[in-house]
């Protein structure tokens, strides 16, 4: 199943679309060892490690080398893990050992990957939930507006009828509801200050000085 929220991706990279064999950058993962000229303006620690004697299998078991560098699982490994995850998000010991052997990873690494994967998924989940809710809010908002229009119209018709009728029987009823319609229309306007799509939300934080870091005190919780 493609999850593809069915929307636009301004910032080309939100959750790496399971790089399923399509993107080209994927292949570089495993082979980009020390291209980090991104040293936050100081020589970085790193240098400590034994520098890793060359080796073929991912992450030695107990032998003492490597230890740093070469995080990032390979594309093949990721795909296998991903497949397994799609089948079942929880990991029983059997599957763990099987994957461990198949992929040449520590059982621990398998477990960790699944844990992180679940956590990641949960985050995405919230984003998706938000988008869905937002969409439904917009829908219902429009519908409400229509209903308000209709109420107005019906009232006016009723008023007309009443006048024509000469009889004043229903008059009190009609005016009695008046306030309801008015107050709600205000609600709608005040609400919309808070509404974003998740894409918007990503957008604003993506570029340089995300506005909300300044407006923090406005209506946001400032979260300790």
The radius of gyration computed from the CA coordinates of the chain, to the nearest angstrom, equals 29
Nearer to DNA, 123 or 163 (CB): 123
Contact between 72 and DNA per CB under 7 A: yes
Residues 155 and 192: beta-carbon distance below 8 Å: no
Structure tokens at 193: 């200050």
Which 20-49 residues touch DNA, going by CB under 7 A?
25, 28-29, 32, 35-41, 44-46
The binding track of 94-133 with respect to DNA, each residue x by CB under 7 A or -, is --x-----------xx-xxxxxx-xxx-x-----------
CA angle 43, 44, 48 (to 5 degrees): 110
Q: How far is the CB of 63 from a copy of itself (least distance, A)?
A: 8
| Listed ranges 29-37, 69-77, 167-175: which one lies at the site for a copy of itself (CB under 8 A) | 167-175
CB 91 within 8 A of CB 98: no
Residue 104: CB minimum distance to DNA, A:
12
- Distance CA(118)–CA(18), nearest Å, equals 14
Between 193 and 207, whose beta carbon lies closer to DNA?
207
Contact letters (x/-) for DNA, 156-185, by CB under 7 A? ------------------------------
Residue 50, C-beta contacts closer than 8 angstroms, at least 6 positions apart: 64, 65, 66, 67
Tell me how far apart the alpha carbons of residues 8 and 199 are, in angstroms, rounded to a whole number. 8
DSSP 169: T
8 binds a copy of itself (CB under 8 A): no
Asked if residues 138 and 132 have their Cβ atoms less than 8 Å apart, the reply is no
- Measured from the CB atom, the residue of 122 and 207 that comes closer to a copy of itself is 122
The 10 Å CB-count burial string (b at 16+, else e) for 137-151 is eeeeeeeeeeebeee
Residues 25-84 that bind a copy of itself (CB under 8 A): 39-45, 47-50, 59-67, 82
CA 223/CA 212 separation, integer angstroms: 13
Among DNA, a copy of itself, none, residue 102 binds (CB under 5-8 Å by kind): none
Q: Considering the complex, what minimum distance in angstroms separates the CB of residue 11 from a copy of itself? A: 13
Can you give the binding site for DNA, defined by CB under 7 A?
Answer: 1, 3-4, 7, 9, 11-16, 18-19, 25, 28-29, 32, 35-41, 44-46, 59, 69, 71-73, 78, 90-91, 93, 96, 108-109, 111-116, 118-120, 122, 202, 205-208, 210
């Amino acid at each position: 199943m493609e999850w593809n929220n069915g929307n636009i991706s301004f910032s080309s990279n939100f959750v790496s679309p399971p790089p399923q064999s399509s993107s080209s950058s994927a292949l570089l993962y495993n082979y980009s060892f020390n291209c980090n000229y991104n040293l936050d303006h100081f020589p970085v620690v790193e240098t400590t490690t034994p520098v890793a004697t060359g080796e073929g299998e991912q992450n030695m078991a107990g032998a003492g080398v490597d230890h740093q560098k070469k995080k990032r699982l390979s594309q093949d490994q990721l795909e296998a893990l991903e497949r397994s995850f799609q089948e079942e998000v929880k990991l029983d010991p059997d599957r763990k050992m099987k994957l461990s052997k198949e992929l040449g990873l520590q059982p621990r690494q398998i477990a960790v990957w699944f844990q992180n994967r679940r956590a990641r998924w949960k985050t995405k989940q919230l984003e998706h939930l938000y988008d869905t809710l937002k969409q439904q809010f917009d829908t219902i908002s429009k519908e409400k507006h229509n209903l308000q229009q209709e109420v107005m119209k019906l009232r006016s018709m009723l008023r007309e009828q009443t006048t024509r009728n000469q009889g004043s029987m229903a008059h009190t009823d009609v005016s009695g509801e008046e306030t309801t319609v008015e107050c709600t229309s205000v609600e709608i306007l005040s609400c919309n200050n808070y509404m974003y799509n998740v894409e918007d939300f990503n957008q604003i934080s993506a570029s340089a000085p995300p506005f909300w870091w300044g407006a923090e005190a406005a209506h946001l919780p400032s979260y300790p």
